[in-house]
Amino acid sequence: METLSLAGDGIDPALLPAEELADCAAAVLAGDGRTILSYGTGAGYTPLRELIGEWFGVHPFRVVLTNGWLQGFGLLVGAHVQRKRVAAEYPIHDRAQQLLLGAGATMVPISIYPDGLDTDEFATYTGSYGVPDFLYTMPTFQNPTGYSMTLERRQHLLDVLRHAHRLSDRIRTVVVENDSYGLTRVEGERLPTLFDLSGKETVYSASFSPILAPGLRVAWFVVSEEQSRTLATDANDTYIAPVLLAQAIVFDYLRRGGLEQQLNRVREGLKLRRDTMDAALDRHLGDASWSHPEGGLYLWVTLPPGTDGRVILADAGVEAVSGAALGALANTMRLSFGAVGPETIEEAVALLGAAYDRSRS
């Protein structure tokens, strides 16, 4: 029997604007092929940096483009984390954790709940041990839980950091906000980012993978000018230059005004898939509980105590990410609704429900 996957990090290929991107690729190659097929600055394709700088009201020098979000995060980690203290919400994006541990970080796990990172717990930690050197967070539609931090918690988090730095109003902990799923919101009101609330002082990062095409591998980081210089130099030293062709394709697509139509397509598709998974879980895994995100790609499922999600997944023949692999209890799992169609979601959840019933018999 074919294994069904609810483990993917991308969006369903049916939601990709493949024809439009192909046309953009042809256009940029014809118009500026000799430039974008050559090496360039480590900070990325200048026209796209300028456009994103306009979005965020910053000088384009503060914008760094990378070959996917993880590569940019890896550059930040390399510049700031070597054998230092890092606070992060747990459960955590497993690949982010791998990069942090690979840099010798001492991890400070902070609990996360449906209303976001536990800022009271973080305040207690800073009161006892001081501020960490680095803080990684996904305030909106967190991977893996889908949870979002309330406005009150966002403000409190920044207040805690400012209070901990009593000698200055500036936040000196390197705060990295991953907002890769912020534009996938399918309902509810958009909340201001930590970047907004901090007066553009924290690091903002996001990716075009969940909204445009993951295979293009284009992400952006809004950093300080000093960090920008460091990241561009480290990018040159690591891979000489990012893929300018992919970045030029993204820029041309945005220049043509296609983003809003694509966002509508992605949001409608994700809402259908989220609602399909929610209904399927209700039918087939009613003993469990799960998150109800207003966007993003994931649901976080908690099975009854004593149930090992890894056993359920193996018996069902379904691929998903066990909570145990993400710093959570074994009775939890992350199910991705974004990467497959509704029919696959229904079939996979039915198999999980049948495996759970067998485990109880």
Answer yes or no: do 116 and 10 share one domain: no
Q: What is the mean pLDDT of each run of 10 residues along the chain (361 residues)?
A: 89 97 98 94 97 98 97 97 96 96 97 98 93 96 98 97 75 93 97 97 97 97 97 94 96 97 98 98 97 98 97 97 95 98 98 96 84
Q: Which residue has the tokens 């009613």?
A: 286
Query: 265: exposed, middle or buried (C-beta count within 10 Å: 0-12, 13-18, 19+)?
Result: middle
Q: Which domain holds residue 146?
A: 18-255
Query: Quick one: pLDDT at residue 167?
Result: 57
Query: Quick one: pLDDT at residue 168?
Result: 55
Answer yes or no: do 297 and 226 share one domain: no
Answer yes or no: do 191 and 315 share one domain: no
Query: 84: exposed, middle or buried (C-beta count within 10 Å: 0-12, 13-18, 19+)?
Result: middle
Answer yes or no: do 176 and 39 share one domain: yes
Answer yes or no: do 122 and 219 share one domain: yes
Answer yes or no: do 199 and 141 share one domain: yes
Give CA–CA dist 172/165, Å, rounded: 7
Query: Quick one: pLDDT at residue 171?
Result: 66
56-100 pLDDT per residue, tens: 999 999 999 999 999 999 999 999 999 999 999 999 999 999 999
Answer yes or no: do 272 and 198 share one domain: no
Element (H, E) at 187: none
Answer yes or no: do 174 and 218 share one domain: yes
Question: Given 255, 277, 292, which residue is the final one in a domain?
Answer: 255
Answer yes or no: do 182 and 218 share one domain: yes
Answer yes or no: do 194 and 264 share one domain: no
Answer yes or no: do 119 and 213 share one domain: yes
pTM of the complete model beyond 0.85: yes
CATH of the domain at 225: 3.40.640.10
CATH of the domain at 343: 3.90.1150.10
Give CA–CA dist 158/154, Å, rounded: 7
Question: Could you give the number of structural domains in the chain?
Answer: 2
Give CA–CA dist 68/242, Å, rounded: 10
Question: Given 217, 238, 255, which residue is the final one in a domain?
Answer: 255
**What is the DSSP-derived secondary structure letter of residue 191?**
P
Query: Quick one: pLDDT at residue 146?
Result: 98
Answer yes or no: do 272 and 244 share one domain: no
Question: Given 212, 236, 255, which residue is the final one in a domain?
Answer: 255
